[in-house]
Amino acid sequence: MWRRPDKAQIKIVTRIKWKGFIKFIFWGCFSWYRKGPFHIWKPETEAEKKEAAEAINTWNRETEPVFKAIWEEENSEETWK
């Protein structure tokens, strides 16, 4: 919604969209000349949270040795000589 600066806090130009509330996360991009992309994340169910945690843990177990080896190689004393 676009409003002039002098109208931003006037209640008569504000419409309430719903009663109560809903939990969500909004990410958006706005600039002076245009509105950018946006995304709304709705709350996860317990099953979705569990699935995501398992996927993250699996990825961490599989990639930690690889990234640890890369880090150790890049930060070894021989690299800094």
DSSP 33: S
3-state SS, residue 30: strand
Q: Is residue 51 part of a domain?
A: yes
Within a domain: residue 50? yes
pLDDT in tens, 32-74: 777 777 877 788 889 999 999 999 999 999 999 999 999 888 8
Query: How far are the Cα atoms of 14, 16, 39 from residue 23, in angstroms, in the given order?
Result: 21, 16, 14
Q: pLDDT at position 27, please?
A: 76
**Could you tell me the two tokens for 35?**
């509105």
Residue 55 forms part of a structural domain: yes
Q: What is the DSSP letter of 25?
A: E
Whether residue 8 has pLDDT greater than 90: no
| Within a domain: 53 | yes
Q: Tell me the residue range of the domain where 62 lies.
A: 44-81
Confidence (pTM): 0.45
Q: State the Cα–Cα distance between residues 77 and 9, nearest whole angstrom.
A: 60
Q: Which of 16 and 67 is assigned the larger pLDDT?
A: 67
**How far is residue 66's CA from residue 74's CA, in Å, rounded to a whole number?**
12
Q: What's the pLDDT score for residue 78?
A: 67
Residue 1 is assigned to a structural domain of this protein: no
How many structural domains does the chain have?
Answer: 1
